[in-house]
Chain A
Amino acid sequence: MTEEAGQDTGRPKLAVWKFASCDGCQLTLLDCEDELLGIADQLRISYFLEASSGPGPGPYDLSLVEGSVTTGQDVERIRYIREVSRRLVTIGACATAGGVQALRNYADVAEFRSVVYARPDYIQTLATSTPISAHVPVDFELRGCPIDRGQLIEVITAYLAGRTPDVPAHSVCFECKRRGTVCVTVAHGTPCLGPVTHAGCGALCPAYGRGCYGCFGPSGSTNFPAFVPLLRRDGMDTLDVVRVLRTFNTAAPEFDAASRKEQHG
């Protein structure tokens, strides 16, 4: 941004960074249509390449990081970002749990490369897709594929005010009850990941008549030994259970462990 230096004295500097991802979580910031210009008044959006061609130098007071680490260069870049950031917050399933691209963690990446590319030797990539916390200390992880707009604003305003973000770790079931949605599992026998999935979306899927598919990753407390039999009762076989746990948060430790237990017994 082209701003006069004097104008910015005291305004905290925000940076938004991208690793392997779909851009959806940083787009969530641009989707805050009612709040965007207000946010820009409160802090200086200093580095945000999707929105601005005038990147400003660090250090940054708050860095939002989207995407997962999938190349050797990424490993170096996230270390640099940590060094120039006072607070580092990951946004979204890719940055907190490796994202859908972490499905390679269960496969032979050389074989994946050969499926997609005629000349796999041109393509540089790591064999794994890992969350940011696997490489550097992270101050806060905001979940979701994509993240929720309200939770993003809460995180930004919390750091502006110097307090911890108020983002509860309870399950989607709490949000369903609060919303007054009839339980799709109880009423219709629809398999639903709500009991083990982190709140944040507002229990959208049940409100639209489908079971939760876990896009916010594991909640603060999960009980898979009690939960998986419910999925089976409602018609899911082993492959279905493995698939639903191995999607957008496949490298989240709880989902990973539960899917391995299903697959290997």
Chain B
Amino acid sequence: MTHRQSKVLRVGSLARVEGEGALHLILRAREVDQARLQIYEPPRFFEAFLRGRSYTEPPDITSRVCGICPIAYQLSACRAVEDACGVVVDGQLAALRRLLYCGEWIESQTLHIYLLHAPDFLGADSAIDLARTRRADVERGLRLKQAGNAILELLGGRAIHPVNVRLGGFHRVPAVSELRSLAERLRRARDDAEQTVRWVAGFDFPDAGCDNELLALAEPGTYAIESGTPTAMTAPSAAGLPADHDRALPTRTFGVRTFGEHVVETQVPHSTALHSLLDGRRHLTGSLARYAISGGRLSTIAVQAAQDAGLGDPREGVVCRNPFRSIIVRAVEVLYAVDEALRIIDAYEPPPHPYLDVPPRAATGHGATEAPRGLLYHRYTLDANGTLTDASLVPPTAQNQGAIEEDLRRLVEERLGSGEPTEAELTALCERAIRNHDPCISCSTHFLKLTVERS
């Protein structure tokens, strides 16, 4: 066996992602021997210290896993504990939860589109850099983001780690008049969201595809956000189709209570975040998965915007598997969330009481919701006094890690196949590929430094 001198390339930390990680590539000639996404965010041990806490505490405590999507944590926690206690929150309280979650989708997805992702397509280092040449676009993004925050601040008290969510509902529910003034702002935001879809649709998109299974919640008659049944779409590779196959493939569902039997977490030496597989195969959650599984259930305005943006008609089973185009899908989801928030506000009647009583009982409960970055699952076991004896949190980024690594491997191999890329080119390509998936590394535990080893 001959050993050629290996080459190690070190590149600075990956920026414009949430959290801290590194990427290690081992190249052998024109092939990628290994692509390892290293998440080295120090572990914070939430699952360990939740044991011994009261069953009323997970909504407040787990929101601190992630400052970017606290509502996702609060509502997955509520659903799981309520499931254990046999309580179902419905009617206007459920509608208000969905409204609050729409606020988080608008704020968080707009943050990703404008501040983290768009600079990649426009050759800028940051949105602040971008504002020098495209101030009106950046201002539109900040205004839209602010509209999402306005929902969070009214319904939740504040945008980061809101205080108003509790088991069974809310500490306080808003008056009709409070929501009416919010609606005026959201009508302006709907115009900004429509313009955002048009803006990102004009970017240049490389050809690419992902051949993972797709996993998202699905609900009859609506685009699943705060509840639903886990639904998996077959991978094109399993059907002998190319990675960028853009038609819907067969789906299967499983109850959220069996989530742990289907999505199995494993630990890898190179990351503090756990990896997971869906029935033994790589899978992807998030905007591309939701759009593939529930795109036909979007509102008329969102479907029309998707078609105008070149995504095809989701009602006819057209899906998007190009990770670069996920920015368009996110923009469509923001438009939907604004439209949906307005629909909920129009139909709002204050419920008779801000919350349902949730008495404790000895049981295990399961809850899953659609965080902006994908399906977030919580499981808690409590004793008869309501003390937690076990907790499990499965965030979207931990599920997506395998799919992101595969995406990196494919893109780098394609690039190696078409010439001799410089280190800077490879780094830029990998960083883009990772930002396409909007990894929230703080969730999965946290940040990114690229190392390339060539042999």
Chain B positions within 8 Å of A37 at CB level: 128, 131, 135, 138-139, 142
**Is A113 an interface position by the 8 A CB rule?**
yes
**Alpha-carbon distance between A204 and B60 when the two chains are bound, in angstroms:** 14
B128 touches A122 (CB 8 A): no
**Alpha-carbon distance between A113 and B124 when the two chains are bound, in angstroms:** 40
Binds B, one of A17-25, A132-140, A160-168, A170-178: A17-25
Q: Which chain A residues in 84-116 approach chain B with CB under 8 Å?
A: 99-101, 103-104, 107, 109, 111-113, 115-116
Q: Quick one: given A51-B127, A100-B61, A213-B60, are A123 and B272 in contact (CB under 8 Å)?
A: yes
Q: Which 5 A-B pairs have the closest CB atoms?
A: A24-B67, A54-B125, A52-B126, A53-B15, A112-B48
**Is B431 an interface position by the 8 A CB rule?**
yes
Chain A positions within 8 Å of B126 at CB level: 1, 45, 48, 51-54
Chain B positions within 8 Å of A103 at CB level: 45, 49
**Mask for B47-72, Cβ within 8 A of A = 1, else 0?**
11101011001001100111110100
**Is A36 an interface position by the 8 A CB rule?**
yes
Chain A positions within 8 Å of B17 at CB level: 50
Q: Quick one: given A25-B67, A248-B64, are A107 and B49 in contact (CB under 8 Å)?
A: yes
B431 touches A53 (CB 8 A): yes
**Is B113 an interface position by the 8 A CB rule?**
no
**How many A-B contacts are there with CB distance less than 8 Å?**
191
**Mask for A40-73, Cβ within 8 A of B = 1, else 0?**
1000010011111111000000000000001100
**Mask for B133-159, Cβ within 8 A of A = 1, else 0?**
001001100110110010000000111
- Minimum CB distance partner of B73 in chain A: A22
Interface SS of A by simple majority: loop
- Minimum CB distance partner of A118 in chain B: B267
Binds B, one of A27-35, A218-226, A227-235, A257-265: A27-35
- Which one of B67, B131, B135, B354 lies within 8 Å of A27 (CB-CB)? B67
**Is B98 an interface position by the 8 A CB rule?**
no
12 A–B contacts, CB within 8 A, in A order = A3-B129, A24-B70, A24-B160, A31-B160, A36-B142, A49-B15, A50-B17, A50-B18, A52-B126, A54-B125, A201-B158, A209-B171
- Which one of B142, B160, B272, B274 lies within 8 Å of A146 (CB-CB)? B160
Q: How far is the CB of B85 from chain A (nearest CB, A)?
A: 19
A22 touches B60 (CB 8 A): no
B43 touches A45 (CB 8 A): no
Q: Which chain B residues in 170-224 approach chain A with CB under 8 Å?
A: 171-172
- Which one of B13, B43, B127, B160 lies within 8 Å of A113 (CB-CB)? B43
Residues of A at under 8 Å CB distance from B? 1-3, 18-25, 27-28, 30-31, 33-34, 36-37, 40, 45, 48-55, 70-71, 74, 99-101, 103-104, 107, 109, 111-113, 115-119, 122-123, 125, 129, 145-146, 201, 204-205, 207-210, 213, 215, 240, 243, 247-248
Q: Which of A20, A71, A240 has the most CB of B within 10 A?
A: A20
Interface SS of B by simple majority: loop
**Alpha-carbon distance between A243 and B115 when the two chains are bound, in angstroms:** 38
**Alpha-carbon distance between A240 and B54 when the two chains are bound, in angstroms:** 9
- Which one of A50, A71, A74, A215 lies within 8 Å of B161 (CB-CB)? A215
B16 touches A53 (CB 8 A): yes
Chain A positions within 8 Å of B354 at CB level: 209
Chain A positions within 8 Å of B42 at CB level: 19-20, 70-71, 74, 125
- Minimum CB distance partner of A212 in chain B: B163
Chain B positions within 8 Å of A201 at CB level: 158
B15 touches A116 (CB 8 A): no
Chain B positions within 8 Å of A116 at CB level: 43, 45, 47-48
Chain A positions within 8 Å of B431 at CB level: 53
Q: Which of B43, B126, B163, B269 has the most CB of A within 10 A?
A: B43
Chain B positions within 8 Å of A145 at CB level: 64, 161
**Alpha-carbon distance between A60 and B60 when the two chains are bound, in angstroms:** 35
Q: How far is the CB of A102 from chain B (nearest CB, A)?
A: 10
Q: Quick one: given A36-B142, A49-B15, A52-B126, are A20 and B44 in contact (CB under 8 Å)?
A: yes
Q: Which chain B residues in 17-46 approach chain A with CB under 8 Å?
A: 17-20, 41-46
- Minimum CB distance partner of A54 in chain B: B125
**Alpha-carbon distance between A20 and B442 when the two chains are bound, in angstroms:** 9
Q: How far is the CB of B143 from chain A (nearest CB, A)?
A: 7
Q: Which of B146, B267, B447 has the most CB of A within 10 A?
A: B267
- Which one of A36, A51, A111, A210 lies within 8 Å of B163 (CB-CB)? A210
Chain A positions within 8 Å of B131 at CB level: 37, 40
Q: Which of B57, B139, B446 has the most CB of A within 10 A?
A: B446
- Which one of B19, B158, B172, B272 lies within 8 Å of A23 (CB-CB)? B19
Chain B positions within 8 Å of A122 at CB level: 267, 269
Q: How far is the CB of A111 from chain B (nearest CB, A)?
A: 8
**Is B299 an interface position by the 8 A CB rule?**
no
Q: How far is the CB of A211 from chain B (nearest CB, A)?
A: 10
Q: How far is the CB of B165 from chain A (nearest CB, A)?
A: 10
A54 touches B160 (CB 8 A): no
- Minimum CB distance partner of B265 in chain A: A118
Q: How far is the CB of B10 from chain A (nearest CB, A)?
A: 15
